[in-house]
Amino acid sequence: MVIVIALLVFATIVCTALAVVTRKGKTDTLVSRLETFKEGGAGASQMKAPEAEEGAFKEKRSYSEVRVLSKFFGSMKGSDKVAAMLEQSGVPLRVGEYYMIRWVAAFFFFLAPLVFGLNLFDIGIGIVTGIVGYWLPSQWLGGKRKKRMDRIVAQLVDLLGMVSNSLKSGYGLMQSFEFASKQLPDPLGFEIRRMLRESTLGMSAEQALFALGQRLQSSDLDMVLTAINVQRAVGGNLAEILDKVAHTMRERDRIKGEISTLTAQQKMTGIVIGLLPLFMFGIFMVLNPAYMSLLFNTTTGRLLLVSAVFLEVMGYFSIKRIMAIEV
């Protein structure tokens, strides 16, 4: 009966966490930046067409190899956002497979504390660890996405230089992107080739660029696409505009490098302080296991152990928040 109650409580917690995670996100950055161009004839027509194309693309997306599961995950509000996250991180998983990994991880993390017993305290710890297990894959995916997006942002300056030089040589915009896609390595080269393939298969240049911005959701790429859309709406020298954007991005990267150099010592201090308790815990476990076993065999010891882990996690996020300087 205790196990059944624990499983029901665990299922309730997982469903609640899933509902919170899959809530509808905010309006996309690119649409909000181009909001001013929706008013008027040319700007409105350029924005409506990409939105219609994006809706048609979403209807054809498969969320699982099983048709029933694909419909189930497709009906969830956060499925499109999760699918976009998987594409941005370059992880070859579908939404259904990703959620199955999260649920399995949550289940095993929930069962881990029950090895020590089936009392209410262990069940409570199991619920907490189950939530952590459900949360860890999303953190891993976020890390993969950040690394890939950082690589894409680092390649944007080279892309702008190639496109600008091609425009100065007399090439068109899409021809310039095609030339750059052959020179750039992945992941940005792959994304540009995908954008060109979509434009070849029937999408207009505006729709293909809009889909690229929606797929990557990068503020730096949004700045580039905004410059291109402004030039298409009001005219101007696009090559000169891209050169100025590239100069702005290079200066910002330089400032980020200086900030990273100045905060390197503080980051290393945080790492040492965070790992020191784990290092001492391992030493005492080797020297006197009976003394350290009180942390696992007594209720007070377990409470202290849980409190220590909680404080370690809070300290990690506090230092990470302090070191996160926006440029």
DSSP 67-117: HHHHHHHHHSTTHHHHHHHHHHHT----HHHHHHHHHHHHHHHHHGGGGG-
Model confidence at 193, pLDDT cuts 50, 70, 90, reads very high
- Do 241 and 274 lie in one domain? The reply is no
Check whether 30 has a pLDDT greater than 60. Answer: no
d(CA 146, CA 140): 10
* pTM tops 0.85, yes or no: no
Q: Which two tokens stand for residue 116?
A: 């020590």
The verdict on 273 and 244 lying in the same domain is no
| Maximum Cα interatomic distance, the chain, rounded to a whole number of Å | 78
| Per-residue pLDDT at 292 exceeds 90 | no
275 occurs within a structural domain:
yes
- The domain boundary residue, chosen from 249, 276, 295: 249
Indicate whether 302 and 230 sit together in one domain.
no
Straight-line distance from the first to the last Cα atom of the chain, in angstroms, rounded to the nearest whole number: 55
Asked whether residue 160 is assigned to any structural domain, the reply reads yes
Q: Does residue 214 surpass a pLDDT of 90?
A: no
Neighbours of 59 (CB within 10 A): 7
Indicate the range of 8-22, 109-123, 203-217, 227-241 predicted with least confidence: 8-22
Which has the closest alpha carbon to 48: 270, 207, 271, 177? 207
pLDDT for the residue 98: 92
Residue 233's domain is classified under what CATH number? 1.20.81
Among residues 204, 227, 249, which one ends one of the domains?
249
Q: How many domains is the chain built from?
A: 2
Domain of residue 163, residue span: 149-249
Q: What is the mean predicted confidence (pLDDT) over 146-165?
A: 91
Its sign, for the CA torsion 220, 222, 225, 227, is: negative
Q: Which pLDDT band, with edges at 50, 70 and 90, does 190 fall under?
A: very high
3-state helix, strand, coil in the chain (%, to 5): 85, 0, 15
Domain check: are 154 and 224 in the same one?
yes
